[in-house]
């Protein structure tokens, strides 16, 4: 059997290795010929790849392969839209740990294919001090100090919900401060306060950001905008596999 995989809508392609691995594990005799690379922007009705091999193996692997390709292309495509929306600013789009179960590495890769940057991979590569941690530790300063003691050499980020908390995070020596659902005016003021003293933490805006608002957030001067929806609100890209040729079986 020979078949082709088509994009039914414009998208950013991502997931080739997962498609290759799916068919390889079903039957190494299956061959996949790619006509586009991960990170490429493809138009509707584009042929993404051709698949050839034993019909049973091709049809067995079809759905799993397309599931990977549709989901990862969806994450890459969504990321690309946000990246395009902030083009021309110094702001960068970040992902979060709000990924589909079992798909973290894959979706983090898809974000990169869409032009975004990876934030934390897990709990081991950056400490994020959130509201509950602050309450448990007693204060922002105590939470940051504990993080420094327990995880030396690891960057520490603090989530704040107000400008007074921002000042406390600066004073505590946070490497990065997450501005959680602050107004645009407060974000601008946060940038002003950060710029007033050299060496202060970078700023990340988070919470309630959409394609309609992301440009305005970026123009406040924050360094990063994190968007959980890149990985948790994905809508699969419309792809399909169409058979091109079937050789009649000779006997059984």
Q: Is 130 one of the annotated active-site residues of the chain?
A: yes
Which of 8, 45, 56, 63 is an active site residue? Answer: 63
Q: Which CB contacts under 8 angstroms, 24+ apart, belong to 215-221?
A: 215/85, 215/86, 215/89, 216/184, 217/91, 217/184, 217/187, 218/85, 218/86, 218/89, 218/91, 219/89, 220/184, 220/187, 220/188, 220/191, 221/90, 221/187, 221/188, 221/191, 221/195
Q: Is 242 one of the annotated active-site residues of the chain?
A: no
Q: Which helix (H) or strand (E) holds 126?
A: none
Rounded CA separation 242/103 (Å): 27
Q: Is 180 one of the annotated active-site residues of the chain?
A: yes
**The pairing of beta strand 92-94 with beta strand 127-129:** unpaired
Q: Residue for token digits 């890209």?
A: 237
User: Which DSSP state fits 231?
Assistant: H
Helix (H, G, I), strand (E, B) or coil at 250: coil
Which of 180, 186, 219, 238 is an active site residue? Answer: 180
Which of 38, 95, 157, 159 is an active site residue? Answer: 159
Q: Is 63 one of the annotated active-site residues of the chain?
A: yes
Which of 4, 92, 97, 130 is an active site residue? Answer: 130
Q: Is 108 one of the annotated active-site residues of the chain?
A: no
Which of 98, 104, 148, 188 is an active site residue? Answer: 98
Closest CA to 72 of 240, 242, 241, 237: 237
Residues known to be catalytic:
63, 98, 130, 159, 180
């Amino acid at each position: 059997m020979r078949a082709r995989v088509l994009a039914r809508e414009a998208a950013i392609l991502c997931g080739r290795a997962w498609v290759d691995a799916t068919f390889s594990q079903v039957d190494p005799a299956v061959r996949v010929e790619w006509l586009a690379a991960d990170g490429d922007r493809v138009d509707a009705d584009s042929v993404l790849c051709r698949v050839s091999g034993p019909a049973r193996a091709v049809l067995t692997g079809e759905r799993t392969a397309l599931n990977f390709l549709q989901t990862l292309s969806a994450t890459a495509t969504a990321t690309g839209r946000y990246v395009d929306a902030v083009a021309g600013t110094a702001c960068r789009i970040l992902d979060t740990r709000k990924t589909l179960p079992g798909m973290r590495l894959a979706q983090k890769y898809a974000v990169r294919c869409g032009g975004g940057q990876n934030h934390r991979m897990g709990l081991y590569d950056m400490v994020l001090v959130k509201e509950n941690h602050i309450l448990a530790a007693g204060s922002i300063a105590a939470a940051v100090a504990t993080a420094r003691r327990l995880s030396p050499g690891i960057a520490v980020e603090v989530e704040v919900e107000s400008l007074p908390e921002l000042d406390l995070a600066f004073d505590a020596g946070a490497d990065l401060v997450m501005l959680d659902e602050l107004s645009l005016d407060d974000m601008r003021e946060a940038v002003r306060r950060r710029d007033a003293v050299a060496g202060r933490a970078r700023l990340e805006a988070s919470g309630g950001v959409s394609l309609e608002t992301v440009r305005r957030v970026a123009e406040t001067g924050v360094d990063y905008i994190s968007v959980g929806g890149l990985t948790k609100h994905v809508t699969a890209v419309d792809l399909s596999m169409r058979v091109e040729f079937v050789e009649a079986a000779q006997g059984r």
